Structure formats: C-alpha cells, structure tokens
C-alpha cells in the first residue's frame, strides 16, 4: 500500500495533482489508514497512469473519465474531437505569431505598411512629429473601421503629396500648432488652401473615400474630435472651414446652405 507521495512519485506527477483528481472525482478516493493517510493499491497506480496518459495527450480532465470507459468507436470519435480542438488552438497561436512578426517589422501598431510609408513621407516633407502622431492615430481609427479598404486608398493620398499646395498646407498647419499663439493667422491660410482644394475635388467629383465611407460619419467625427483633443485650437480650424462652407475637417462635406455670418 502506497502513500500519496509514493503514488505520485511512481507516476511522475505532483501530490497536489493527485488530490485535485480526487476533488473532481476523476480518481476515486482510496481508503485511509489509522492516522487518516490515504493508502493506494496497485489498481490506483494503473488508473492514475491511464489518466496522465490522456491528460498529456491534451485531453481535458473533464472528458477523461468518459474516454476511459468508452468503447472503441466512441473513443475514436472523442480522439477526433480532441485533435480538432488542438489543431484549432495551434491555428490560433500560429495566427498570433504571424501578427507579432508583422508588429516587429512595421513602424507602428495597428497600421498596414502603406499607411506607415505615407507617414514617413509626411516626416520627409517637414511635418512635425506631433502632427504625424495625430495623423497616425487618425489612420488607426480608419483602419479599424475599414481594414480592407484603407490600403487601396493610399496611392491616391501619396499622389496628393506631389501637389505643392498640400505640402504647403501641412507645413503651415505644423507651424501654427507648434506656436504658442492662441489664434495663429496661419490657420486662415490653411483654411483657404483646404477650401480651395475641396472646391476642386467637389467640382471634378473626386473623393478620397468610397461609398461606404461617405455614409458612415462616425470615424470622421472621431478623427475631428481627436484633433480637438490633441489641440483645442483645432476647433478654430473647424470654424474657419464652416465659414467657407465646409462641414468637418477630415472628410469635407459641403454644407447645405451658405453659412450665416
């Protein structure tokens, strides 16, 4: 007759594990000796070995009891189920590994490479780091909403950077938000550029965003709010744009009627 420690040592598990199997009813409680110690016979050793064999094969403890008393076809069916579960779990972990590998490679979190290279271009043309981070967060919001559509719109955005007015716009905004002035006059210039370009785009029917994006205001509301949160002076920009007949900032919409001034 073995003590619990001897049993555990024979099978290669911890004492705690054996007691756990008792608790959940997987291994029957053996008799006790005079001093209350559990005493195990050889059949318990065999049972425990069989339990561990299944557990080490990835069978959840809750299913082991049923499997041990199953007949051959039921056993085979259970094995298939377990194996499918294991495969699924492995699958999930593999996906995680791919994702983390991409995280290690990319510049920033939660952004596809097309967007990070757009951000790099912004840095090159002299946009301040603070503003690039604001852009980045805006793109994060867009990508979360349309993970598949965003990469497709990046070539157009990159092309826009060839227009000297856009470059000028970004630089003017960078400067304005970097200064200490509460109401920098450069904001007016920026608003003029934006209104002009919005006018052109509107006239030619061009748009950065597709149908779905045009219906769904939330991401753009969030992006506008993000700018305001980052620098309250962004509110002023929104006002200036509204004066010029344009609602919003990050996706400009023509206001229904001339602004009341």
Contact residues for a copy of itself, defined by CB under 8 A: 10-12, 41-43, 45-46, 49-50, 53-54, 56-59, 68, 76, 79-80, 82-83, 86-87, 89-90, 93-94, 96-97, 99-101, 103-104, 109-110, 137, 140-141, 144-145, 218, 222-223, 225-226, 229
Distance of closest approach, residue 83 Cβ to a copy of itself, in angstroms: 6
Residue 92: HSE in the Cβ half-sphere, 13 Å Cα cutoff: 5
Which of the choices a copy of itself, DNA, none does residue 147 contact, using the CB cut-off of 5 to 8 A by kind? none
Q: Which is nearer to DNA, 34 or 203 (CB)?
A: 34
Q: How far apart are CA 222 and CA 241, in angstroms?
A: 17
- The answer to whether the beta carbons of residues 183 and 236 sit under 8 Å apart is yes
- For CA atoms 176, 177, 179, 180, the dihedral sign is positive
Judged by beta carbon, residue 106 or residue 175, the one nearer a copy of itself is 106
CA nearest neighbour of 119 among 131, 102, 104: 131
Going by the DSSP 8-state scheme, the letter that residue 4 receives in this structure is H
Cβ 253 to DNA, closest distance in Å? Answer: 23
Give the count of beta carbons closer than 10 Å to the beta carbon of residue 189.
Answer: 16
Residue among 97 and 130 whose Cβ is closer to DNA: 97
- Could you tell me the smallest distance in angstroms from the CB atom of residue 246 to a copy of itself? 20
């Amino acid at each position: 007759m073995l003590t619990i420690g001897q049993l555990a040592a024979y099978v290669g598990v911890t004492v705690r594990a054996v007691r756990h199997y008792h608790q959940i009813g997987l291994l029957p409680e053996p008799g006790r000796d005079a001093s209350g110690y559990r005493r195990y016979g050889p059949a318990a050793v065999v049972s425990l070995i069989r339990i561990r064999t299944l557990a080490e094969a990835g069978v959840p403890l809750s299913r082991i009891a049923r499997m041990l008393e199953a007949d051959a076809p039921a056993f085979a069916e259970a094995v298939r189920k377990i194996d499918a579960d294991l495969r699924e779990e492995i699958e999930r972990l593999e996906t995680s590994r791919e994702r983390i590998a991409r995280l290690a490679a990319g510049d920033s979190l939660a952004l596809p490479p097309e967007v990070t290279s757009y951000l790099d271009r912004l840095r090159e043309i002299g946009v301040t780091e603070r503003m690039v981070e604001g852009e980045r967060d805006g793109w994060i919001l867009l990508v979360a909403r349309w993970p598949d559509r965003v990469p497709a719109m990046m070539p157009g955005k990159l092309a826009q950077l060839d227009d000297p007015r856009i470059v000028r716009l970004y630089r003017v905004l960078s400067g304005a938000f970097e200064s200490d002035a509460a109401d920098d006059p450069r904001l007016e210039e920026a608003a003029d550029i934006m209104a002009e370009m919005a006018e052109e785009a509107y006239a030619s029917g061009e748009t950065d965003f597709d149908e779905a994006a045009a219906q769904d205001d939330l991401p753009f509301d969030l992006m506008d709010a993000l700018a305001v949160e980052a620098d309250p002076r962004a509110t002023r920009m929104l006002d200036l744009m509204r004066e010029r007949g344009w609602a919003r900032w990050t996706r400009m919409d023509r206001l229904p009627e001339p602004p009341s001034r």
